[in-house]
Structure 1
Amino acid sequence: MALLAVDDALQRMLADVEPVSGEACSLMSCRGRVLAENIAAPLSVPPEDNSAMDGYALRVADLAEGRALPVSQRIAAGAAPAPLMPGTAARIFTGATIPPGADCVVAQEDCEATGEAVEIRTVPRVGQHIRRAGQDIQRGQQILAAGQRLSPADLGLLASLGIADVPVARRLRVALMSTGDELREPGEVLALGQIYNSNRPMLAALLEAQGHEVLDLGIVGDTAEATAAALAEGRDKADVVISSGGVSVGEEDHVKAQLEKLGRLQLWKLAIKPGKPLAYGRLGTVPFFGLPGNPVSSFVTYSVLVRPYLLRMQGCTEDQPVQQRAVADFDWPRPGSRQEYLRARVEWRQGRPMLTLHPQQSSGALSSVAWCNALAIVPIGATVARGEELDYIPMEALLH
């Protein structure tokens, strides 16, 4: 079977996505959630004309015969002003509503208070220092679009409109399993031939950072029966099932075979490095991803293929991170038959971003992932010479 190119695999997976339903979420709890509906402003912001400065609200025409005006009222933010009496000024503070009849605000540093009057030391213009109603947002204006992930700024925007409950895609419940008799959990004592399970906490953290609920199925032994039981449990309890390990073709690799018995295998073996043995299919209607057991392979395949899929399930329109470009500070002279994701660090030198490689690019060297801040992309059949520009994915774009 020919290896499937990464972009082709991703497009086939995304075309297979079935979006989940929406739900209402409290404003204070929906950071990072995917908006399920367009949001239109129920009111204008600001709702009334208000002052952009501490100072005095007045009519420009009232200064025609002199620059001293009696102060007829004091208006603080949140207070309802009375109409401005002709020939007077109102002491006003930033954010306070402009009184009916006033057409400008003079900053307090351009005025001098003298008892119950104020002397205006400048010539104001109509509209000066007034923030008009609807200057930021007009009532009925679409302010946020369905499919975007809500940022802290978005939450502030929603709050400014008085929106307390937000329509978002519901959280995904993701069943996570690790396969392998050699695996032990951190804190346990290792025997000869055993290793600690690094994929479980890493993948769980990636999923939770994306806002998903993790159903931990633990470590699954290398038997067909244990694998089938775990897959069936995930199918029955979760929206998505993810395993790490057991998707190769060895005698102790049971995931692919049991997937084909319980459901269907749709993709397998991609032209990606690290991470060639990746299985995608369905357990009934539940999507399944079988990631490689090597930790770097598991991280890369999750980041490049699974993360966009899960976002698309929630209706996210920006499901893939924007790639950036930097100058390679290394040589990669051997063309490969798979698209490679090299662990690299972007550093600014002499006014431009430079990519430096971690010295260890093995699929088992998780230290390279902890060290890097970028995945440098080398396409199939490409070579890289020092000084050439190269696409990369910023790590920060993958970690939330």
Structure 2
Amino acid sequence: MIFDTVIAVDWSARSTPSPAVPSKDAIWIGCTRDGVDEAPRYCRTRAQAMADVAQMVAQDRAAGRRVLIGFDFAFGWPDGFAAAITGQAGALAVWAHLADMMQDGPDNSNNRYDVAAALNAALPGVGPFWAKSHADRWPAIPYKDTRQDHGMPERRVVDTRASGAKPVWQLAGAGAVGSQSLVGVAHLERLRHQLNSQVWPFETGGNIPDGDVVLAEIYPALFSAEVQARRAPDEILDRAQVRVVASQLAALDRNGALNDMLDIRAMGDVVTQQEGWILGLPVAGSVPKLRNDCFALPPGVHWTPVDAALKQLRDGLRAVVGQEHVPLADAGGRVLAEDAVAVRSNPVVANSAVDGFTFDAATVPSGIASLPLVQGRSAAGVPYDGAVPAGSALRILTGAAIPAGCNTVVLQEDIVQENGAIRFENTLRAGANVRRAGEDFAQDAALLPTGRQLNPMDLALLAAGGLGQVAVRRKLRVAVLSSGDEVVDMAQWSGANAAAILPDANRPMLAQLLRQWGMHVVDLGIVGDDRADVRAVLDRGAAQADAILTTGGASAGDEDHISATLREADALRTWRIAVKPGRPLALGLWSGVPIFGLPGNPVAALVCALIFARPALMALAGQPWPTPTGMLLPAGFSKRKRAGRREYLRARLRDGQVEVYPSEGSGRIAGLSWAEGLCELPDGAQDITPGTPVLYHPWASFGL
């Protein structure tokens, strides 16, 4: 997590104080501190707002908290404006220029139109600033957008990407932000010096900021769905926006997504130095959303065989996470985003594999050899400085570079040393006991492929290849949700009404599965049987995660509210999988985020998670599609299996045979801990007796 406190400010450029009674179109300040959402503040003037922000930052600094402050106006202007006005191609030069020009009184009276008129006069043609409160005043400002020969682009790059964003040149009218930016950046120029804060992206080069107080541009419309879902009845929209935006940015920070949003280096200097960017808007090259039809089944399909379902998932899914560079020491368990290529050979130079003495084999005859010793030695990290004369030898230690004039090493145990010479029986071939330069791998060799999840041995390989940091995929964020009025988190159970409650066994099980697969868990808790609550929690999950796993409520019954909510939003695909245990699998997209609705019975939930969710999530995480590698082993049980469904039985190995749990009931949770893997029985009919070969998958086949 980068920030302890997130502040969101809804700005206003009005020329008089806002009403004493909290109202819309005023300045509101939202704050989430240490994960707790605070009541928004209402400010009647900009002077009051700046004083409140400064006071909040002082309190956070005193407590050692890092602070992100977002303002909902443009921090920069389109390419070329800064240079045309100030002679410097940087937005902060405009900030300083406006701070000198802008007058803004404690009662909100200000000269923003005078400033805009002066800026227009400094440019050729008419404009670019347009729209004003009085048609007959400030003749340098057009009343309407004329775009006449001023040479400035109409919009910033980010304004072309953000739906509904107005051009920064518009000073008045519905949705106009031009006046807010002129007045706002003048205040922020003073505030940033007062607070010694860091302005993103201008002072970070588009990278993740390292300051303890960071200013950033925000756009509440990016979080409109979350605002709508979390807005209280009759709550002023501006108030709801700052409250929810601060909360959402803090949540994105907690689950690691904010790192991706703050790294916009790929957008180039025009964006990172002149125009700015809206925090939270995907950058160029970011991973696009999944297609709406990614879970579509072929028409006419009623019962879907397991292999067909897996193929459909494989064809419809791809990586949805971006990449970041991390130090090698932090890369364990992460997924490579690029092929890892050696930046140095291993070994870089020829070196000794043993402690001994080195010489040129071509100058030493076979049989008993006696070689004078050259003074000095070659040690690992301290090579011999010079060349060893022909017919001479040099003391050398394991790992030390082979000096010039040598190509072979004799073990120290095989020599007799006396009178400044060594004597030994030379049966060695040239190159004996020498590790050749690059014999392990050469510089520029491909070490590991894209998509590999790095294990401890991989880290050793990459370190030997000279990689101090690696490009990895951001961890896939997977939200876990249990549903049902009867489901209870046992950590919060009072002990009452034992007969009417159902312990939430699925959520802790699935969360641990995800952690072992190297994914980040977002715990959504338990949602009751209320459609509005289901929608709200799915909205929260879509804002915080890349995928959502739910258990329960995925079928078509009266109380299956997960599937019903998805169906109401036309976001559901119900797959009737020919599998036991399991069968119904609800799949859908909620705000572009894939949802996997697993069965409620724990055994069925585990089987569906291992067989269907695991490969799908790994594909979303940028890993190759995994296929469990089972073993054909003799059965230690009898069973007559009917045709029609693939079956997965809880199983373990004993005396070289596969034994299965006595009960196949999907509610028998004890069998999960009893088992050491799954026994997979094919789709067709089969009569199994002791000794019949069956396919056994140990838990390790599923990454456990």
Cα 1:304/1:75, change in 2 over 3 Å: same
Q: Post-superposition shift, 1:242?
A: 1.2
Q: Post-superposition shift, 1:183?
A: 1.5
Do residues 49 (structure 1) and 369 (structure 2) align?
A: no
For the residues of structure 2 that align with 1:60 and 1:334, how far apart are their CA atoms? 71
For residue 121 of structure 1, the aligned residue among 425, 429, 438 is 425
> Which residue does the alignment assign to 2:462?
158
Matched residue type, 1:135: E
> Which residue does the alignment assign to 2:400?
96
> Which residue does the alignment assign to 1:143?
447
For residue 364 of structure 2, the aligned residue among 54, 60, 63 is 63
For residue 167 of structure 1, the aligned residue among 449, 471, 482 is 471
TM-score, with length taken from structure 1: 0.94
Which residues of structure 1 form unaligned runs of 5+? none
Q: Post-superposition shift, 1:292?
A: 0.6
Cα 1:115/1:370, change in 2 over 3 Å: farther
TM-score, with length taken from structure 2: 0.54
Matched residue type, 1:86: A
> Which residue does the alignment assign to 2:702?
398
> Which residue does the alignment assign to 1:298?
605
Q: Post-superposition shift, 1:115?
A: 4.3
> For 1:191-210, what per-residue CA distance to the aligned partner results, in whole angstroms no more than 9, with x for missing partners?
22212111111000011111
Matched residue type, 1:300: V
> Which residue does the alignment assign to 2:532?
225
> For 1:80-135, what per-residue CA distance to the aligned partner results, in whole angstroms no more than 9, with x for missing partners?
22211333211111111111101211111110122432222333221111110010
For the residues of structure 2 that align with 1:361 and 1:95, how far apart are their CA atoms? 59
Q: Post-superposition shift, 1:327?
A: 1.4
> For structure 1, which segment, 187-196 or 366-375, has the greater mean C-alpha deviation from structure 2 after superposition?
187-196
> Which residue does the alignment assign to 1:244?
551
For the residues of structure 1 that align with 2:338 and 2:397, how far apart are their CA atoms? 38
For the residues of structure 2 that align with 1:293 and 1:113, how far apart are their CA atoms? 77
Matched residue type, 1:224: R
For the residues of structure 2 that align with 1:175 and 1:157, how far apart are their CA atoms? 33
> For structure 1, which segment, 200-209 or 223-232, has the greater mean C-alpha deviation from structure 2 after superposition?
223-232
For the residues of structure 2 that align with 1:15 and 1:224, how far apart are their CA atoms? 32
> Which residue does the alignment assign to 2:577?
270
For residue 635 of structure 2, the aligned residue among 328, 333, 350 is 328
Q: Higher strand fraction: Structure 1 or Structure 2?
A: 1
> For structure 1, which segment, 180-189 or 105-114, has the greater mean C-alpha deviation from structure 2 after superposition?
180-189
RMSD of aligned C-alpha atoms?
1.8
> For 1:359-399, what per-residue CA distance to the aligned partner results, in whole angstroms no more than 9, with x for missing partners?
12211112212121221111223222321212232212224
Matched residue type, 1:328: A
For the residues of structure 1 that align with 2:435 and 2:641, how far apart are their CA atoms? 62
State how 1:376-387 maps to structure 2 within 5 Å.
376-383=679-686, 384-387=688-691
8 Å contact 1:327–1:387 — kept in the other structure?
yes
Which secondary structure state, in structure 2, belongs to the residue aligned with residue 333 of structure 1?
strand
> Which residue does the alignment assign to 2:519?
212
For the residues of structure 2 that align with 1:339 and 1:25, how far apart are their CA atoms? 42
Structure 1 segments (4+ residues) deviating >3 Å? 61-66
> Which residue does the alignment assign to 2:337?
36
Q: Post-superposition shift, 1:263?
A: 4.5
Cα 1:258/1:318, change in 2 over 3 Å: closer
Q: Higher helix fraction: Structure 1 or Structure 2?
A: 2
> For 1:296-328, what per-residue CA distance to the aligned partner results, in whole angstroms no more than 9, with x for missing partners?
111110110011011111221242322322111
Matched residue type, 2:350: D
Matched residue type, 1:226: D
> Which residue does the alignment assign to 1:286?
593
8 Å contact 1:171–1:213 — kept in the other structure?
yes
For the residues of structure 2 that align with 1:27 and 1:344, how far apart are their CA atoms? 38
For the residues of structure 2 that align with 1:163 and 1:203, how far apart are their CA atoms? 34
Do residues 371 (structure 1) and 649 (structure 2) align?
A: no
For the residues of structure 1 that align with 2:586 and 2:643, how far apart are their CA atoms? 22
Cα 1:279/1:116, change in 2 over 3 Å: same
For residue 311 of structure 2, the aligned residue among 8, 11, 17 is 11
> For 1:277-310, what per-residue CA distance to the aligned partner results, in whole angstroms no more than 9, with x for missing partners?
2111111311011011110111110110011011
For the residues of structure 1 that align with 2:653 and 2:309, how far apart are their CA atoms? 28
8 Å contact 1:110–1:122 — kept in the other structure?
no
For the residues of structure 1 that align with 2:311 and 2:625, how far apart are their CA atoms? 14
Matched residue type, 1:380: D
> Which residue does the alignment assign to 2:150?
none
For residue 27 of structure 1, the aligned residue among 324, 328, 339 is 328
Cα 1:26/1:61, change in 2 over 3 Å: closer
Which secondary structure state, in structure 2, belongs to the residue aligned with residue 312 of structure 1?
helix
8 Å contact 1:9–1:267 — kept in the other structure?
no
8 Å contact 1:273–1:341 — kept in the other structure?
yes
Matched residue type, 2:490: P
Matched residue type, 2:314: L
Aligned residue pairs: how many?
396
For residue 562 of structure 2, the aligned residue among 255, 259, 266 is 255
8 Å contact 1:326–1:389 — kept in the other structure?
yes
Matched residue type, 1:7: D
Higher Cα Rg, which structure: 2
> For 1:346-366, what per-residue CA distance to the aligned partner results, in whole angstroms no more than 9, with x for missing partners?
24x4xxx42111112211112
8 Å contact 2:574–2:584 — kept in the other structure?
no
Cα 1:68/1:294, change in 2 over 3 Å: same
8 Å contact 1:77–1:93 — kept in the other structure?
yes
